[in-house]
Structures are given as structure tokens and as C-alpha cells.
Amino acid sequence: MKLAATEETLMQHLWTLETAYMKDLLDAYDDPKPATTTVATLLKRLIDKGAVAYRERGSTREYYALISREAYFANHVNGLIKNFFNNSAAQFASFFTKETNLSADELTELRRLIDEQIDRKKP
């Protein structure tokens, strides 16, 4: 699922809030806040994409995400690996470790996480 930047921003607010009414979503934005109609349009697009749903609560709607932040992010990262790194996680890891300013401690932590996953996948 591909979301526009404005849709991602709204999803970030919804993921943080877990469930939200229109007022809650508007309050989550920094000033200058978007118009109610803008947020309503974004919500409609997200509903159409299957990312958001709502429950009727009287005359209002309580919105909630249908896709978790983790699932969306995993999909995004997998797309990056496929499209920019020839579907090679090793190429991605090489780029990530060389092109970011990770400290020795952060690299050690990455190695620990990778070793942990290797141990889990051993028969």
C-alpha cells in the first residue's frame, strides 16, 4: 500500500491515538492546522485504500487504523529493498551501515539483533 505524504502524516496521528474522532485528529496537528475538509478528504482516501475504518458513534465517527504502523513500515522497507537494492537485503544492510552515521555501539547492537535472528532460524 502506497500512501501520499499527507496520508502518512494522518496515519501517524491515528497510530499514536489508536482511535480518534475528527476533533482528536485535528488537535494532533501542529499549527497551522489543516482544514476539517482536508482531513475528511484524507480519511475518505484512506478508507478507500483499506487503511482506515470507522465506527458510528451517534452522529460522529470514531476512526481507527486497519494496518499497523509496523506492517506499513515493513511493507515500505521491503519495497525499498526490492526497488533500490535488487531485492538484496545484504545490499541494503551494506548501504545502511556505510551511509548512516551509526556509532560503534549501534553497530554492535545491530550485530546482536542479527545474531539473535540467526539463532531463531536455525533448525
- The verdict on 73 and 113 lying in the same domain is yes
- Where among 65, 96, 112 does a domain terminate? 65
DSSP symbol at 68: -
Q: Residue holding cell 546482536?
A: 112
pLDDT value of residue 1:
84
- The verdict on 60 and 109 lying in the same domain is no
- The verdict on 59 and 94 lying in the same domain is no
pTM of the model: 0.78
Q: Which three cell numbers stand for residue 114?
A: 542479527
Domain that holds residue 56: 5-65
- The verdict on 40 and 85 lying in the same domain is no
d(CA 1, CA 113): 27
Other Cβ atoms closer than 10 A to 88: 13
- The verdict on 57 and 75 lying in the same domain is no
- Can you list the residues of the chain whose pLDDT is less than 50? none
Q: Are 54 and 39 in contact (CB under 8 A)?
A: no
- The verdict on 15 and 52 lying in the same domain is yes
The burial of 20, by beta-carbon neighbours within 10 Å (0-12 exposed, 13-18 middle, 19 or more buried), is given as buried
- The verdict on 59 and 89 lying in the same domain is no
